[in-house]
Structure 1
Amino acid sequence: MSVQTERADAAPETAVHKSGEPPGGLDAKRQRIRDNFLPYVLLLPALAVTLVFLGWPMVKNGDLSLQNINRRQLILRLTEYTGFDNFEEALKSEQFWRVVGRSIVFTGVNVILIMVISTLIGLLLARLGKTMRVTLQLALVLTWAMPIIAATTVYQWLFAQRFGVVNWTLDKLGWHSMADYNWIGSQFSAFFVITLLIVWQSVPFVALSLYAATTTIPGELYEAAALDGAGGWKSFTAVTFPFIKPFLFATTFLEVIWVFKALPQIYAISGGAPDRLTETLPIYAFVEGVGNQHFGMGAAISMLTILVLLTLTSYYLRIVLKQERDEL
């Protein structure tokens, strides 16, 4: 009798479940909506800040690139729109295309050196003992934390012509012709100093990132590779590289952007000397705009610089996406 009563009591409840919305169904639906929109809501402050501090200056720079503005226009507060004349003049200039080619080669050399050295250091960190690893990590962090201008000033002092430490050391080692060597006197030596500085500043971030990637690799994979008779190189290609490849792609992408737009290092070391042979696109835009007081032309060159960088990075992103599709 009690069993029949329980069944009778449960029947209406079952009917409600079948005919209407189950308990908690509306709340669950609202929760799903909130979960879907929450990421976009959280992104709104970052998007707002980006629009204010990046989007608006880009709009103003684009407007400036369409004007003929120099000292006269600034003094008389004149606005002379010339359309795309600045872009046309820049694109027809042989100097502009020489600087574009130089910028691409400069970026490629620096990024290759950064990635190779950083990979070797990252792998070294994974194999060192705790004391040596912490010591090397501390040295990398301190190098990375040094401000750009401070590091550039140190390199200016190291490679100074008359009182530089490098020239003094080379002279003491027997290269007496280097006692008063002018490192900024030729294109190759000036770029050598600039490359050394940029690589030195960039390696810590990439090396530490790659070392962090190696800590995610299970040790059992290395043990299995060793049992199969794999040597150091085979273990790297079969075990290590597949795990760190996404980090390599990401850091390479970031380094391309960072090196391509490097301005304070080059300007402080050489200023484009000798004979403007060490100018990259950011330096070229700054010299034409601020140095020659042709601000519209400088703005146009900076916009073209962004387009060149977007072209380089879009090609790289296409390669990365293709590789990811092939792996699926």
Structure 2
Amino acid sequence: MAAQLDDAVGKAAPRTGKGGAPPGRRAPRSPGRGAARPPAGRAPRSAAPGPSARRTPYLLLLPALLATAVLLGWPMVRNVLLSFQNLDMKELIQHLTDWRGTGNYQEILGSEQFWRVTLRTLVFTAVNVVLIMVLGVLIGLLLARLGTKMRLTLSLALVLAWAMPVIAATTVFQWLFDSRYGVVNWLLDKAGWHAMAHYDWVGTQLSTFSVITVLIVWQSLPFVALNLYAATTTIPRELYEAARMDGAGTWQVFTSVTFPFLKPFFLATTFLEIIWVFKAFPQIFAINEGGPDRLTETLPIYAFTEGVGNLHFGMGAAISLLTIVVLLAMTAHYLRLTLRQERHEENEL
């Protein structure tokens, strides 16, 4: 048997000539002395990109940069210039330029009204963002656990609420909370709260902010809920199964699996909601124009009232720039948290 296997291998193996080449074929000749040989152990280098290839990314960015400079940069420059001027109706009609220097900023920063409005804006933003994130997370987790039909129905309702224009939604809420014909007062009256039959929801600071908060939270929930549901679909199911096998409850599963996995999502979404609520203008202005007695003014409403309402355009420009400074401070804090999170993840890896 061994002799037969040796004969079969000998017949199958081709015979080689000198240098290991099969008979009847010439072995490839080595390159001559003049031929260039690639250095041993190095791959041939690719050609360096030319000047035109290096300029291509900048040329592609050029239209966006020009549009940003025209639509955002130039108005910002004009706003900065206005903030250093005493520009009232007289100067506007006569085309006069009355430079005031930092007088507008000194007057604003020395005013108690500005600091009250700033504190009110921060508290209003914090309350709304907390409600939006808590309710949005709960609805997003509910979407993840519903069946296909119920999930589709709820998602459609969220999308319709999200797609409604801001002014249209504000008008609907004005009808709902109308003191004479509002559905909310009618329902409260039928439920036994007869004192609420003709309650004026925009008559006090707290009630006006309550209506505005319900409106803003209702408009913001779809963004958080739908994005959270989409993010939960990326979490491996094996993690949930392992947590359940270890005896973890619903809250423990959320804190040990869902939240750590989606922490970047929570940071980014919270930051976006802070910006959106902080600069909310049409909802507050359309409900009661910052009333009653300017007690529901936030910084955007305050800038508009001083600039356009009281015709102090230089003061309005200065207030708007200070609003941007506050937003930049919050942005810097968010970026610091994001960088810290990235360094923490790199250290864990």
TM interval, shorter chain, is over 0.9
User: How far, CA to CA, are the matches of 1:233 and 1:32 in structure 2?
Assistant: 57
Instruction: From the two aligned structures, give the one with the greater helix fraction.
Output: 1
User: CA–CA distance in 2 between the matches of 1:222 and 1:103?
Assistant: 40
Residues 151-180 of structure 1 show CA distances to partners (whole Å, capped at 9, x for unaligned) of 001011111111111111111221111111
- Post-superposition offset of 1:300: 0.4
Report what 2:165 is aligned to: 147
The 5 A counterparts of 1:7-86 are: 7-10=28-31, 15-18=36-39, 25-27=45-47, 29-30=48-49, 34=53, 40-86=58-104
Tell me which residue corresponds to 1:294: 312
What is the RMSD computed on CA atoms of the aligned residues? 2.3
CA contact (8 A) 1:111 1:256 kept: yes
CA–CA separation in structure 1 for the residues paired with 2:255 and 2:39:
58
Worse-superposed segment, 173-182 or 139-148: 173-182
Larger radius of gyration: 2
Change in 2 beyond 3 A, CA 1:31/1:137: farther
- For these two proteins, the number of residue pairs brought into alignment is 324
**Structure 2 Cα separation of the partners of residues 60 and 283 of structure 1:** 20
Question: 1:240-266: CA deviations, max 9, x gaps?
Answer: 111211111111110110100000000
Is 1:103 the counterpart of 2:132 in the alignment?
Answer: no
Range that drifts further, 145-154 or 3-12? 3-12
- Give the structure-1-normalised TM-score: 0.92
CA contact 1:213–1:243 (8 Å) conserved in 2: no
Distance 1:290 1:171, change over 3 A: same
Distance 2:297 2:205 in 1: 10
In 2, Cα distance between equivalents of 1:267 and 1:292 = 15
1:128 to 124, 146, 166: 146
Contact kept, 8 Å, 1:111 with 1:255, in 2: the verdict is yes
Work out the percentage of aligned pairs sharing the same amino acid.
64
- Report the AA paired with residue 178 of structure 1: M
TM-score by length of 2: 0.87
Aligned mates of 1:2, 1:30 — CA distance in 2: 45
What are structure 1's unaligned runs of at least 5 residues?
Answer: none
Unaligned runs of 5+ in 2: 1-16
2:265 equivalent in structure 1:
247
Deviations 1:80-129 (A, max 9, x none): 11111111110000000000000000000000000000000111110000
Matched residue SS, 2:262: helix
| In structure 2, C-alpha distance between the alignment counterparts of 1:234 and 1:31, rounded to whole Å | 56
2:193 aligned partner: 175
How far off is 1:41 after superposition? 4.6
- Superposed displacement of residue 7, structure 1: 4.5
Distance 1:214 1:37, change over 3 A: farther
Evaluate the alpha carbon distance shift between residue 13 and residue 228 of structure 1 in structure 2; reply closer, same or farther with a 3 A threshold: farther
Identify the range of structure 1 (203-212 vs 5-14) with the bigger mean alpha-carbon deviation.
5-14
